[in-house]
Amino acid sequence: MFLRLVADSFTRRPKRKLLTLAALALGMAVATAALSVSLDVGDRLAQEFRSLGANLLVTPEADSLPLEIGGVDYRPANAGAYLPEADLGKLKTIFWRHNIVGFAPILEAPAIFVKGGLGGGPPEPPAELQSAIHGEKITLIGTWVHHVVQIPDGTVYTTGVESTNPWWRIEGRWFAERANEVVIGNNLAKRVGLGVGSEIVLGMDSPGFDTPWPVKVVGILSSGAAEDNAIVAPLDVTQSLAGKPGQYRRLYVSALTKPEDAFGRRDPKSMTQEEFDRWYCSPYISSIALQISQELKGTDVRVIRRVAEGEGTILIRVRMLLWLVTFAALLAAALAVGASAAASVIERRTEIGLMKALGAGSALVGVLLAAEQLLVAFVGGGIGYAVGIVLARLMGQKIFGFTPEPKLFLLFVVLVLASLITLLGSAYPLRRASQYDPAPILRGE
Amino acid sequence: MSDSPMFWRIVRRLITANYGRLFVILLALGAGAAITSALLNLQIDAKRRLTTEFRALGANVIVTPRDANANSSGGTLDQSLLTGLSAENSGKPVPAVAFLYVIGAVAKAGEIHHQPAVIAGTAGQGLTQVRPGRRTEYSADLESDPAACEVGAKAAAQFKVRAGDSLNLRNQGREATCKVFAVVATGGAEDTQIFTKLATAQTLANLPGRISLVQLSVTGTPDAINRFISALSQRLPTADVHGIKQLAEAEGKLYNRISGLLSITVIIVLLLTSLCVMAGMSNVAIERKNDVGLMKAIGGSVRRVVRLFLAEAILMGIVGGLIGSAFGIVGSIWLGKAVFGVAARPRWIVYPVSVGITILVSIASAFPLRRLASVRPASVFRGEA
């Protein structure tokens, strides 16, 4: 009989129930869409922030002080310490290895070059090259582009300067590894009149250099910084030119991190073992820095503060903003659904009066109406979830070009939410209704 | 209209007849209005705030000598450029710092062995804004010292100095001392530099009145920053003004993404909220069947009945909208404080817009009443659904 009463109230007046259902479904669709975007967007935004480039810088620990102005190191080539390139695979063995999205070693060397090739003859230094005065003095930057790194666990990982300096634009193409190809900065190219396809001869800007190196220009680089006046070459070529085989001087690492909170900013030395473990196992920039310095011996890993901190504050703010919007959406949905539920109880006073006149107790009437509302909540919540997921996909694709995975636990959250809201919305009118005195109602008063 | 007083009397009675219903309607409409106004206000404010937050990334515009790159050793600018540059951007002074770089020999005061290091003389407002980092040591008392200097973390470790120690600076026979007031870690080249007063570096370099470059931290949307750059480069024909590409590109991309995300989320939330309020309200409206039946039975024309209910809906919309939007704007001020630490500035355009939206929603919710025009009084009185 109970079930029949519930079922009847649906089949007899489908339009009314449909409206309540629509309000609920819409409310829950907002909730689902907002929740699933909020849940996914943090990771997504963190990835977007990698367009700022590297956030960690690795340098030799026992280095002499670099004399760097505007991105150019004025130290002589033989000064300062170097790091072994062979160790770099270890970067992908740290605890947060999957958060390392790219790295590139840099070896800079002062060099000179002259235009023109060596011709077909034997590699003999052209006359101009013999006197450094006639050659253009430039900085030669050796680095990786699409370099395949051997990871100690047997796998390989491809990375390079494009992931640590994503704002670098190349006209033409990047050089190939081990090839005698270079990319030159756009200012330099303009100044000396070089273009893609030109041939130049490189040499070291040090007394008695005797290894002229004919190379081909395959691309023009624009970086908006010091590299615009430099020549970028494969790391291995630079190493052999500079006489530093297998070595580099600086390493840029781009890592996905969790914005630093008060805990992340604490000094790990002052932590208890338990706190330290929690800190070590959180992808804070500082804990990733520590893990890198543990793997790469003899290095000093520094956090590039402007990138790391700018990223942190903005990420936290945007995330809070999104949660706020989500919360606002939930609130609006709750109030509208509550109003709808309340209205549907208010209008059923006659029905309630009749039931009570026929001998139903206040509790039974309450349970009956609540069961009805719950049924509506479940159906409405389910529909809302489905609509919300579609909406979230559309939003995700529009903004980030990704589709958030539908999360099943959200369905659960939404259903619980829908039930709570409808029950809360109808609680007061239900209580009133169950206290009605049947006689005046039936008389129509 | 001759029966105008009667019309309003009925409207008044319609509204006040059932306080429970009145409350429910106002709650739904008011909540919708509050959320509309709060989100709209917060969204406008957040986009503006976001551009400010980006300045945590430091300097984004740089002024260099036009031909500095052609010949990396030479090329300086005149110091007067900095005073002429004291530019304003939307009413706020732009942090601008002039740098002069010298490679000198440095040692802790009292030690003989000097090591080469980059000495950066600085002048101007907002060094910490153009060069964001963390000061691991800082003494405000020493900062006012005329010979105060700040040392990068790597350099401080190299020369074994702390705040309060003195450094001896040398370049080609010229000498100066400075007192360390702070140690700064930026993670960049600044970690290895020593920041002195501009005059100190100029003396050391024997370049009085010259500077190497000026760094500025310009707040604004990517377009606004580009406009600032082109305006500035017209005013400074001798210098090359350009944005730092790393930041310009990333900022532009991030700004578009985040503001797009906010706009879309807010629009969808507002749309669904309106629909939701509408559905809830329609539910309330359908309940008026009996009233309609009665009115028609005593001779009310369909048009007049609909007009009655429309008047009621508009009134409700105005009241709910006025109250709710006011709450929403006050709420958004507080929310702005919670998110950005700075109270959101209320924008008055938001108020009428959100009240208007609420009235529209309210009218649209009364739409099902049109269908009540077909209600047959007799069947209503018989109690048929």
Question: Any idea where the domains of chain A sit in the sequence?
Answer: 2-46+318-442, 55-303
The pLDDT value given to residue B194? 92
Other CB atoms within 10 Å distance of the CB of residue A424: 14
CB contacts, 8 Å: A16 with chain B: 283, 286
Which pLDDT band, with edges at 50, 70 and 90, does A121 fall under? very low
**pLDDT, mean of residues B95-123:** 88
Higher pLDDT residue, B30 or A78? B30
The tokens for B90 are 């939307």
**pLDDT, mean of residues B41-65:** 83
**pLDDT, mean of residues A202-222:** 79
Beta strands in A304-405 (DSSP E): none
**DSSP-derived 3-state class of residue B376:** coil
pLDDT in tens, A319-376: 888 788 777 777 777 776 777 777 666 667 677 777 778 877 777 877 887 888 888 8
Q: Is the pLDDT of residue B21 over 70?
A: yes
Report the residue count for chain B. 385
Of A310, A343, A395, the CB nearest to B24: A343
Q: Is the pTM of this model over 0.90?
A: no
The pLDDT value given to residue A444? 61
Q: Is the pLDDT of residue A32 over 60?
A: yes
How many CB pairs (< 8 A) connect A and B?
264
Which pLDDT band, with edges at 50, 70 and 90, does A254 fall under? very high
Q: Is B6 on the interface with A (CB under 8 A)?
A: no
Which pLDDT band, with edges at 50, 70 and 90, does A78 fall under? low
Higher pLDDT residue, A209 or B201? B201
**Cα angle A244-A245-A249, degrees, rounded to a multiple of 5:** 55
Contact criterion met (CB below 8 Å) for A60 and A84: no
The pLDDT value given to residue A56? 92
Which pLDDT band, with edges at 50, 70 and 90, does B183 fall under? very high
Which pLDDT band, with edges at 50, 70 and 90, does B74 fall under? low
The pLDDT value given to residue A243? 83
Q: Is B255 on the interface with A (CB under 8 A)?
A: no
Helical (H) or strand (E) element with A101: strand A100-115
- What average pLDDT is seen over chain A? 80
Q: Is A343–B21 a contact, with Cβ atoms under 8 angstroms apart?
A: yes
Contact criterion met (CB below 8 Å) for B256 and B262: no
What type of residue is B160? K
The answer to which of A140-154, A157-171, B294-308 has the lowest mean pLDDT is B294-308
Q: What are phi and psi of B113, to 5 degrees?
A: -75, 115
Higher pLDDT residue, A235 or A422? A235
Mutation target vs A (from B169, B272, B275; most A CBs, 10 A cutoff): B272
- What average pLDDT is seen over chain B? 81
Among candidate residues B161, B152, B278, B37, the one with its CA nearest the CA of residue A339? B278
How far is the alpha carbon of A239 from chain B, nearest alpha carbon, in Å?
A: 23
The pLDDT value given to residue B163? 87
**What are the distances in angstroms from CA B155 to CA A83, B100, B113, B163?**
20, 18, 15, 13
Beta strands in A291-426 (DSSP E): 299-303
Q: Is the pLDDT of residue A120 over 60?
A: no
**pLDDT, mean of residues B100-117:** 88
Q: Is the pLDDT of residue B157 over 70?
A: yes
The pLDDT value given to residue A183? 92
Residue boundaries of the structural domains of chain B:
4-52+254-381, 60-243
**pLDDT, mean of residues B81-89:** 70
Q: Is the pLDDT of residue A218 over 90?
A: yes
Other CB atoms within 10 Å distance of the CB of residue A156: 10
Of A30, A65, A165, the CB nearest to B192: A65
Give the Cα separation of B323 and B325 in Å (integer).
6
Which pLDDT band, with edges at 50, 70 and 90, does B135 fall under? confident
ipTM of this model?
Answer: 0.74
**pLDDT, mean of residues A151-168:** 88
Q: Is A310–B54 a contact, with Cβ atoms under 8 angstroms apart?
A: yes
The pLDDT value given to residue A353? 76
Q: Is the pLDDT of residue B241 over 50?
A: yes
- The string over A217-253, giving b where at least 16 C-beta atoms fall within 10 Å of a residue's C-beta and e elsewhere, is bbbbbbbbbbbbbbbbbbbbbbbebbebeebbbbbbb
CB contacts, 8 Å: B283 with chain A: 16, 19-20, 23, 339-340, 343-344
Give the Cα separation of B289 and B292 in Å (integer).
5
CB contacts, 8 Å: B158 with chain A: 65
**pLDDT, mean of residues A288-305:** 88
CB contacts, 8 Å: B25 with chain A: 339
The pLDDT value given to residue A424? 78
Q: Is the pLDDT of residue B90 over 90?
A: no
Which pLDDT band, with edges at 50, 70 and 90, does A282 fall under? confident
C-alpha dihedral, A89 to A93 to A95 to A101, nearest 10°? 40
**pLDDT, mean of residues A127-153:** 74
Q: Which residues, including other chains, have CB under 8 Å from residue B303's CB and lie 6 or more apart? A: none
Helix orientation angle between A305-346 and B245-286, rounded to the nearest 10 degrees: 0
**Cα angle A146-A148-A154, degrees, rounded to a multiple of 5:** 155
Which pLDDT band, with edges at 50, 70 and 90, does B283 fall under? low
Q: Is the pLDDT of residue A128 over 50?
A: no
Which pLDDT band, with edges at 50, 70 and 90, does A38 fall under? confident
Percent of chain A with pLDDT over 90: 10
**pLDDT, mean of residues A79-99:** 87
Give the Cα separation of B34 and A169 in Å (integer).
47
Q: Is the pLDDT of residue B164 over 80?
A: yes
